[in-house]
Amino acid sequence: MNDDEPQPGALLRALLALPVGERAGRVRAGGDVAAQLTTLVDEVMNLTSTDATAAIDAAEAVTKLAEDLDDPLTASRAQHARARALSYVGRFDDALAACRDATVIATRHGHTVEAGRAQLASMHALGELGRNDEAIAAGEQARALFESVDADDFAARADINLGIVHLRRDQPDLALDYLDRARPRLEHEPELLGHIENSRGEALVAVNDFAAAEDAFLSALAAFEEAGSTLTAAIAESNLADLASRQGRLDRALYFFEGARRHFERVGSPAHLARLLAEQAEAKGVLGLPEDALEDYQSALIQLDQCGLALESARARCSMGLVLLRLARPVEAETALAAAATAFDELGHVTARATVDLVRAELALQNARLPEARRMATRALAAVADRPADAATARHLLARIGLAEGDTETAEADLTAALAAARRLDLAPLLADILDTRGRVYRRRGELGRAIADLTRSLQAVERVRGALQADRFRAAFLGQRTQTHEALFESILDHEGERGTAEAFAVAEQAKSRSLLDQVHAGLAVTAPHGADATTTALEQEWQQCQAALNALYSRLGDHHAFEADEAWTAAVRAQERALEAAEARLAARGRSPVTLGTRATLTEVQAGLGPNATVIEYFVTGDALTIFVVDRDGATVTRHAASVDAVMAALHRLQFQIDRALRPGALVGARAGQLRDDARRALGALYDQLVRPIEGRLRATRASRNHRTLTIVPHGPLHLVPFAALWNGEQHLVEDFDVHAVPSASLLLHLQRDQRPVTGTPLLVAVADEQAPRIDEEATRLAKLLRLPRSRLLRGAEATRERLRTLAPTASLLHLAVHGRFLTNAPAGSGLRLSDGWLNAREVARLPLDADFVTLSGCETGLNRVDAGDELLGLQRSFLAAGAKTLLVSLWRVDDEQTARFMDRLYSGCHDWLGTPGARVTHVAATQRALIANDLHPAIWAAFTLVGRP
């Protein structure tokens, strides 16, 4: 062995490479045995900070070597190192046993300092196991041993550990006293200063001094990184993440959570990883992803319980109780809360116990047990009164209880006090909640001006958080949980201002609709798997690809939409793979630090300025069970409130869907019954017309007569995305017989698409895959290819129509026509797709196509169906094609017959070179096609399935 080996850890690596029987002899032959053993223990200690699992085995080897060389001091120090490594991987009982062995060896041979160091090492494991009194006794005993031999540096280390234990006992002020006493004695030890700063940060978080806590954690992180201590640096980074989460700085929290997680996974520290997962789950709950949060809590608790981390387990169960409550699972919530309360009581952690009372008060409030809710919330406030952020949370809950009791004066007082703390600490999500509740208090009292001001500021706080989030899914979820705030603000504006508030109310409606989709389209990017150079990023990308492959395999089992019934096992498997894929996407996005490009909601004035001279926008907005309708053109805007009951609209829509299904049965439209079925469908369409168009019919007819307004742009909301507006029946004719009708998810998206004035380039691409169920697809493709004057290379038919060929050719297509089977999966909308010759191309894959097509036709079944999530976010093929870059889509709302589809497409594409690429001409030509089929007295199921979406 070479004592002068310059590489860190070289001596230890060389030793471990030798057979056990040769190690002692090699050390003796190497010269200064004591120096070599000291170096070996130091190298084990260093290894603990980077690879704790490997350090355990290394410490055992050095202990055996020391025993063979009759060196009890080294044996004690090696056992101490082993205890430290065991604690880092969560094996706390084993760590305590190693500490006892180290103490016995050191004491027996008169090594006082080493005996004290072993006692100090035991404090970590005792504290994690919740045995805080024993930990403090061990710390005070160690400190006395150090002082007896004037070992001031080690006495300061004892103060660090004692501070940490007092922090775990819910005594942060006392913890700060110990840590501040240790600080000046260890200024020459950067890594130890890092430990002090990290623990000070935790204590400062406990007293809600968040700014000072952040400074302390950043100092700790810098110290650990300088020392090359990967594990402790990750601990500091996880603390920064938890702090940012508490502050509502969710983008920063996710960034640090991901960084810490990568470190913990690399060094193999399951206990720290489990703690991190539980803290990250809390952030996901704030983001509005309770299902994701619950999965993380359940995974974390398995490891936390195995490691005996009593305090962390209790905290996780308490937070999980709140998530279960939001998921409407109160019995499970109470079970988790009861376990957390018992653990906190046993640990003597008063403020943590108060959080259980707050969640239980929330449960009581939900069940209208108001006296019980107030009693528990008041008790919780008393426990956290000196901690402003926690007190603000308690006061906010008390205010909500007061509002439920009808005591708006007390509620306002609690909210005003809570608001002051939330503003001072800049807690954006809490600020949004408090302002929302106070806005409702003012609304209850009829003080609408004050309500509007608070609800507006609430949404401003929401937008501030949302705008910084990197992952599209997180932005959608965070905004989606604020639907009631949008509704309350919308109603308050119109109650207060009437018609004068039209523009302001319109802006609120736009703020609540398909914002995530607008962001994607505005960014001009398809959703792609991010790329990076480090090993973790590469592994996450591979995991993403594996999940996508697994999903494709599951989706392929469906075959066509008639052949396979998705059972519970299949659905569960799909959901598990989708969650894994979404988790990988979120982790990849979390470390992104590029500026987020967000779409801007349109104002009423901007929408009016962007409309053509003959165009009218009809925008719907749902608040509770009430439907409001805006009618907007260049010359003005009107708003019609309480135009219809949403429940009544849904009932009429169900009746229409029943009639469509009747008509689509084989042979249903042949013979005498065809006329009766058509009339039945018209009655259902008439009921929808009465609720959706009749309230504004006068305005539409007036503009049609006086200004020849012909184009109607429909902006649906909620369930109205399923309505075939062109087919609505006024008793004499369908809406499309009077107007050219198309739809768009939001007026803001329409404005964005219209502002894109880039010239249409590329050539059309036609993709066709026929089979026994749809043999006419080949004929449709042949005729359309002639109409489009396609070169052979731009027609993919049969076996040529593979997913890879589509991915290659679609980006250069000016027009994309896909004559293939489609399917929509309500429970797994990302699995909705198009069947090509070699398998299904699902919606998630479509969204990653870099399209620039001016016009896309999806002539298969159900290609225009969507699941409407919170925030009016549409999930399905329609969203994916718009996100990928398509400007205009022609999609189907139900199953379509291939013969009738071919007939529709023949008419549509006749003279296509006169209207393709011409603004406004697409909707005119689609409407003309529908009118031609109506003239043949066809059932609406035949001609109304296809609807135009996007730019007209």
What does the DSSP assignment read for 783-844?
Answer: HHHHHHT--GGGEEEGGG--HHHHHHHGGGEEEEEEES-EE--SS-GGG-EEEETTEEEEHH
Same domain, 773 and 909: yes
Per-residue pLDDT reduced to its tens digit, 290-339: 999 999 999 999 999 998 889 999 999 999 999 999 999 999 999 999 99
Rounded to an integer, what distance in angstroms lies between the CA atom of residue 637 and that of residue 211? 48
Rounded to an integer, what distance in angstroms lies between the CA atom of residue 686 and that of residue 618? 18
Residues 6+ apart with CB under 8 A from 598: 467, 519, 522
Exposure string of 120-147, with b = 16+ CB inside 10 Å and e = fewer, is bbbbbbbbbbbbbebbbebbebbbebbe
pLDDT at 593: 56
pLDDT at 526: 39
Check pLDDT > 60 for residue 770: yes
- Residue 565's pLDDT band (cuts 50, 70, 90): low
Written as six digits, the tokens of 37 are: 């053993």
Task: From residue 330, give the alpha-carbon distance in Å to each of 243, 323, 747.
Answer: 28, 10, 40
- Residue 592's pLDDT band (cuts 50, 70, 90): low
Residues 6+ apart with CB under 8 A from 890: 855, 856, 857, 858, 859, 908, 926, 946, 947, 948, 949
Whether 564 is in a domain gets the answer yes
pTM of the model: 0.85
Instruction: Identify the residue with better confidence: 393 or 550.
Output: 393
Written as six digits, the tokens of 130 are: 């919740």
pLDDT at 404: 97
Whether 99 is in a domain gets the answer yes
Rounded to an integer, what distance in angstroms lies between the CA atom of residue 608 and that of residue 222? 54
Same domain, 891 and 778: yes
pLDDT at 552: 73
Same domain, 744 and 611: yes
Same domain, 246 and 328: no
Same domain, 769 and 904: yes
Q: Of 165-174, 655-664, 859-868, 909-918, give the lowest mean pLDDT range.
A: 909-918
Name the average pLDDT for the chain. Answer: 90
DSSP 744-780: -S-HHHHHHHHH--PPP-SEEEEEE--BTTBTHHHHH
pLDDT at 524: 66
Total domain count for the chain?
A: 6
Residue range 225-234: mean pLDDT, rounded: 87
Residue range 498-527: mean pLDDT, rounded: 86
Rounded to an integer, what distance in angstroms lies between the CA atom of residue 127 and that of residue 167? 10
Whether 935 is in a domain gets the answer no
Residue 130 near residue 93 (C-beta atoms within 8 A): no
CATH number, domain with residue 726 = 3.30.420
Same domain, 723 and 637: yes
**Among 555, 556, 528, which Cα is nearest to 544's?**
528
Same domain, 206 and 333: no
Per-residue pLDDT reduced to its tens digit, 188-209: 888 889 999 999 999 999 999 9
Same domain, 314 and 202: no
pLDDT at 780: 83
Residue 919 near residue 951 (C-beta atoms within 8 A): yes
CATH number, domain with residue 340 = 1.25.40
Instruction: Identify the residue with better confidence: 7 or 161.
Output: 161
Per-residue pLDDT reduced to its tens digit, 885-930: 999 999 999 998 888 888 899 888 887 766 776 777 889 999 999 9
Give the end of a domain, one of 734, 752, 770. Answer: 752
Residue 422 near residue 431 (C-beta atoms within 8 A): yes
Check pLDDT > 90 for residue 529: no
Same domain, 768 and 904: yes
Per-residue pLDDT reduced to its tens digit, 782-834: 888 888 887 877 899 999 999 999 999 999 999 999 999 998 988 888 888 99
Which residue range is the domain that position 248 belongs to?
197-268
DSSP 412-458: HHHHHHHHHHHHHHT-HHHHHHHHHHHHHHHHHTT-HHHHHHHHHHH
Whether 647 is in a domain gets the answer yes
pLDDT at 559: 56
Residue 922 near residue 754 (C-beta atoms within 8 A): no
Whether 227 is in a domain gets the answer yes
Give the end of a domain, one of 348, 377, 404. Answer: 348
Whether 424 is in a domain gets the answer no
Written as six digits, the tokens of 633 are: 């053109």
Whether 655 is in a domain gets the answer yes
Same domain, 862 and 824: yes
Count CB atoms within 10 A of the CB of residue 835: 23
Instruction: Identify the residue with better confidence: 591 or 667.
Output: 667
- Residue 586's pLDDT band (cuts 50, 70, 90): confident
Check pLDDT > 90 for residue 884: yes
Same domain, 331 and 292: yes
Check pLDDT > 70 for residue 525: no
CA-angle at 562, arms to 556 and 568, nearest 5°: 65
pLDDT at 46: 86
Bridge-based pairing state of the strands 867-869 and 873-875: antiparallel
Whether 769 is in a domain gets the answer yes
Give the end of a domain, one of 325, 348, 371. Answer: 348
Task: From residue 820, give the alpha-carbon distance in Å to each of 576, 786, 828.
Answer: 28, 18, 20
Residue range 164-170: mean pLDDT, rounded: 90
Same domain, 106 and 209: no
Q: Say what percent of the chain tops pLDDT 90.
A: 63
Residue range 65-92: mean pLDDT, rounded: 91
CATH number, domain with residue 49 = 1.25.40.10
Rounded to an integer, what distance in angstroms lies between the CA atom of residue 476 and that of residue 42? 50
Written as six digits, the tokens of 175 are: 């913890």
- Residue 631's pLDDT band (cuts 50, 70, 90): very high
Q: Of 26-40, 527-541, 747-761, give the lowest mean pLDDT range.
A: 527-541
CATH number, domain with residue 857 = 3.40.50
